[in-house]
């Protein structure tokens, strides 16, 4: 199943000012051995302090586990999506 994850944060928690945050968000968008989700694509808008991540996962529990290390960095809206013919 596909999901759109929209991550938002504010100026105070922005990775541009906090290297640990920047590193954590970069790790979040990488496919790694052992991940139970697959990162399909990731895009960002620095001016709005937003990340847009398309993921594929079978279970919400796997999504929750993947995002657990970065929960305090910002907010996450996770919406099921589907591919459409254009």
Determine phi and psi for 5, rounding to 5 degrees: -105, 125
Distance CA 45, CA 75 (A): 15
Residue 76 in any domain: the answer is: yes
* CATH number where 21 lies: 3.30.70.100
pTM of the model: 0.87
Range of the domain at 35: 2-81
Residue 54 in any domain: the answer is: yes
List per-residue pLDDT tens for the chain, 86 residues long: 999 999 999 888 888 888 888 888 888 888 888 889 999 999 999 999 999 999 999 999 999 999 998 888 899 999 999 988 87
- Number of separate domains in the chain: 1
């Amino acid at each position: 199943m596909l999901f759109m994850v929209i991550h938002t944060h504010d100026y105070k928690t922005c990775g541009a000012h906090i290297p640990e945050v920047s590193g954590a968000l970069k790790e979040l968008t990488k496919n790694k051995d052992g991940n139970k989700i697959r990162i399909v694509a990731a895009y960002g808008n620095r001016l709005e302090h937003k990340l847009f991540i398309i993921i594929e996962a079978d279970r919400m529990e796997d999504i929750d586990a993947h995002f657990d290390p970065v929960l305090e960095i910002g907010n996450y809206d996770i919406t099921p999506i589907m591919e459409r013919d254009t």
